[in-house]
Amino acid sequence: SLFRLKDLEVPKLGDSDVHVKMLAAPINPADINMIQGTYPLLSPLPAVGGNEGVGEVLEVGRRVTALKPGDWVIPADAGLGTWRTRGVFPEEMLLKVPSDIPVLCAATLSVNPCTAFRVLADFESLVPGDSVIQNAANSSVGQAVIQIARASGIKTINVVRDRPDLQKLVERLMALGADHVVTEEMLRKPEMKDIFKSTPRPRLALNCVGGKSTTEMLRHLQPKGTMVTYGGMAKQPVMVPVSAFIFRDVRLRGFWMTQWRKDHAQDQGSVAGMMDALCQLIRRGQLTAPACTEVPLQNYRAALEASMKPFVSSKQILLL
């Protein structure tokens, strides 16, 4: 089909290049969408898949100052092509990360935790005691939102699809620091009132599903609250009752990590600040890698298939 494992020559190291030995790279939904051609980023073909991962620097060109052999690096941007054992990349396409954090944390750092960090920080100024509601709470972004919010004293109301092993999932999310876990169906039930006895109504809703899930979440948002859409897993539009706009003045916004990186390409301070904050959380054990299944590169077909199955809460990580 679309994928082949191929042996390629490693290109010559230019003066501003870095030779990287990849260590681990996850399979994310956006990687699959890019390959299917349904994502706004298209690589000229033939291309190497994968937008995220961690590698170790083997050697650097003579003009490279910020990196040295032994450093760990992650992509500075989407489209790097991380599903490979080695690569030679221009220095500006890489970000240094500390090598004292777990390899799976580093491999899954550049997309989902960054997305979680930004959506929590950039739309509402939340303070300890505030709450957030999110759907697809068991996704990798969802798991990161739970942990980052918990570390900042923000409560989370987490919406998941009903499933056969629901209780196990609820326990896993509670162990990460979730305050409440509810199913899509429960959003319509009177029991939601019990949650709001102990937890304030959310000022922020995070949506990566679309369709009915979104409409149900919106009901619980505070007046003047914001809903941020960063994905559309149901492949259905976001439907908003007119009354929510008129009588509650809710705000609807969108977020795309790739665009944020473009907008902040000249602002290395905000990128470094975010990466430092996330690495601190990881070191303190307050932010862990999402539930992962490690797969050797040879078995990439099985990993791709597993990553497209419904209800799989475990992220496939290629070990390179």
Q: Residue 24's pLDDT is what?
A: 96
Mean pLDDT score, 2-14: 86
Phi, psi of 257 (to 5 degrees): -55, -40
Q: Pairing state of beta strands 131-134 and 292-296?
A: unpaired
151 with 175: CB under 8 angstroms? Answer: no
Higher pLDDT, 155 or 39: 155
Predicted confidence (pLDDT) per residue in 206-238, tens digit: 999 988 889 999 999 999 999 999 998 888 999
Closest by Cα among 271, 130, 258 to 204: 130
Q: Residue 256's pLDDT is what?
A: 94
Domains of the chain, start order: 17-108+289-319 (3.90.180.10), 112-257 (3.40.50.720)
| CA separation for the pair 165, 183 (Å, rounded) | 12
Q: Supply the mean pLDDT for the chain.
A: 92
Predicted confidence band of residue 311 (pLDDT cuts 50, 70, 90): low
| CA separation for the pair 300, 274 (Å, rounded) | 31
Phi, psi of 175 (to 5 degrees): -65, -30
- Residues annotated as catalytic are 39
Mean pLDDT score, 115-141: 96
| CA separation for the pair 113, 147 (Å, rounded) | 10
Mean pLDDT score, 34-57: 83
Q: Residue 129's pLDDT is what?
A: 96
Predicted confidence (pLDDT) per residue in 240-267, tens digit: 999 999 999 999 999 999 899 999 988 9
Q: Residue 3's pLDDT is what?
A: 78
Predicted confidence band of residue 1 (pLDDT cuts 50, 70, 90): low
| CA separation for the pair 173, 194 (Å, rounded) | 19
Phi, psi of 94 (to 5 degrees): -125, 150
| CA separation for the pair 230, 213 (Å, rounded) | 14
Q: Residue 313's pLDDT is what?
A: 67
Higher pLDDT, 74 or 30: 74
Predicted confidence (pLDDT) per residue in 271-306, tens digit: 999 999 999 999 999 999 988 999 998 898 889 888
Helical H runs in 122-254?
A: 140-151, 166-176, 192-198, 212-218, 242-248
- Amino acid letter for position 167: Q
Please count the residues of the chain: 320
Tokens of 77: 């941007």
Predicted confidence (pLDDT) per residue in 65-114, tens digit: 999 999 999 999 888 899 999 999 999 999 999 999 999 999 999 999 99
Predicted confidence band of residue 168 (pLDDT cuts 50, 70, 90): very high
Q: Residue 38's pLDDT is what?
A: 73
275 with 253: CB under 8 angstroms? Answer: no
| CA separation for the pair 21, 320 (Å, rounded) | 8
pLDDT at 268 over 60: yes
Q: What angle do CA 91, 278, 195 make, to 5 degrees?
A: 145
| CA separation for the pair 197, 219 (Å, rounded) | 16
Phi, psi of 248 (to 5 degrees): -120, -5
pTM here is 0.90
The region of weakest confidence among 37-46, 168-177, 214-223, 260-269 is 37-46
